[in-house]
Amino acid sequence: MAKMAASMVAESGEDVFRKMFKFYKRRDPPPDLREVTDFSSGAASGGKIVPVKLDPAAVSDEEAACVGLQPIRDWRAFGLQGYPGFIFISNPFLRGSQYFWVRQCLKTYPQKPNVCNLDMHMSPSDTQDIWARSVQALRTPASVKRQPKALLERLRWVTLGYHYNWDTKTYSAKSYTPFPADLHMLSERITAACGFPGFNSEAAILNYYRSDSSLGIHVDESELDHSRPLLSLSFGQSSIFLLGGPHRRDPPTAMFMHSGDVMLMSGPSRLLYHAVPRILPAPPQRAALLEELSCASGLQTGSVLEPVSQEDWDVCSRYIQSSRVNMTVRQVLGPGQSFPEEPMSALQTGDEGRMVGCHDDENGGKRKRTCSDPVGTVET
């Protein structure tokens, strides 16, 4: 990775992150992926992977199982040299528990009163029950040609809790709906194991990626408190994630994110530039975990997990065969903090892309915006 970045800098001396984003995004010829860090196999360019010690005492085995997680002592957690505060956990979920979280992302979290991209150009009555309006189309055999796309296939983002304002790039006390209790419990237990007890899940952005989607280069800095970590969870198809530095000119490290993988960005890594240039088919061992429905391993008393019906999973499975869902959970306010009376104006940073990004699709070689907001920093 360092060799590739150095060669790109030598070529022009300009924005190496942009160049690497374009490199991994290109379709013809496809990029060489040999320098992409793979935490699931321990493969990294230049031996950058370092083990991270978590705190098994922070979360009991029963508390972990209640949200579908393995005992903390069994988690495979890693860091990267040069990225203090960055933690990557390779699929800590119990076998069978990802089904529940995939269904929540597709069936439950897009429901009103939560907000999604479809609300920008459709009436509230048309987006009232995205799942119910999509199931028939998604149950249609793949061999049968159908148009138009189901609403679920047109979903690009959903916001939970404090709803992110894509125009002003701020949160507001006036734009809030109760944060899902199950997702808060999951987030609280992961962050506690990583050394951040008392994490308060106040906002989340769910991004829905099709096979040709990408997420532009950006920094998540709209939260008022940056001392709390940014938590990221992925399900479905794999992706290439680029993690850079505090400046756009800093060369990024490329890594795979597979279904069930978790990332935590804290401390010096909390405000680093990052992006997703490409969605990839899941490797066989990860794809197999999501192909056929099976019962979650021994649901604990008090578990937030619920059995997923075969009917629901048929729809979910069809969707994630070619798609990826990512949830980023944030604590917006620190202890004693409150929102200003008037929304903060858009940040004047003088540096392109310091915001939460939307993602784009490619259609017939042409790039098409899939959200009506100006926030995304699309790399061309």
Q: By 3-state DSSP, what share of the chain in percent is helix, strand and coil, each rounded to 5?
A: 25, 20, 55
The total domain count for the chain is: 1
Residue 9 forms part of a structural domain: no
Within a domain: 64: yes
Cα separation values, 316 from 4, 134, 261, 293, 370, Å: 38, 11, 18, 10, 21
Closest CA to 304 of 32, 64, 136, 113: 64
The answer as to whether 339 is a domain residue is no
pTM of the model: 0.86
Which residue ranges of the chain lie beneath pLDDT 50? 5-6, 9-13, 343-380
**pLDDT value of residue 300:** 66
Quote the strand ranges of the chain, DSSP E.
49-51, 77-80, 86-89, 115-116, 157-161, 203-209, 214-218, 230-236, 238-243, 253-257, 262-265, 274-280, 324-330, 359-363, 366-369
Query: What are the binding residues for Fe cation?
Result: 218, 220, 274
Q: How far apart are CA 288 and CA 172, in angstroms?
A: 41
Q: What is the dihedral of CA 244, 246, 250, 254, to 10 degrees?
A: 0
Residue 226 lies in a domain: yes
Inside any domain, residue 361: no
Which tokens in the block code for residue 45? 């360019």
Q: DSSP letter at 283?
A: P
Asked if residues 251 and 273 have their Cβ atoms less than 8 Å apart, the reply is no
Handedness of CA 296, 300, 301, 302 (dihedral sign): negative
Q: How high is the pLDDT of residue 83? A: 96
- Tell me whether residue 335 is in a domain: no
Asked, for residue 168, whether it belongs to a domain, the answer is yes
Neighbours of 46 (CB within 10 A): 13
Return binding residues: 218, 220, 274
Task: State which residues form the domain around 174.
Answer: 16-330
* Predicted local confidence at residue 48, as pLDDT: 86
**What is the distance between the alpha carbons of residues 214 and 21, in angstroms, rounded to a whole number?**
10
Instruction: Decide: 162 and 180 in contact? Cβ < 8 Å.
Output: no
For residue 110, give the CATH number of its domain: 2.60.120.590
Angle between helices 16-25 and 2-12 (to 10 degrees): 120
- A 10 A CB-CB count for 41 gives 11
* Burial category of 283 from C-beta neighbours within 10 Å (exposed 0-12, middle 13-18, buried 19 and up): middle
Is there a domain that residue 79 lies in? yes
Phi, psi of 22 (to 5 degrees): -65, -35
Side-chain half-sphere of 93: how many Cα atoms within 13 Å?
26
User: Over the Cα atoms of the chain, what is R_g?
Assistant: 20
Cβ contacts of 363-369, under 8 Å, gap ≥ 24? 363/212
Strand 238-243, strand 253-257: pairing = antiparallel
Between β-strands 262-265 and 230-236, what pairing exists: parallel, antiparallel or unpaired?
Answer: antiparallel
Supply the DSSP symbol for 120: G
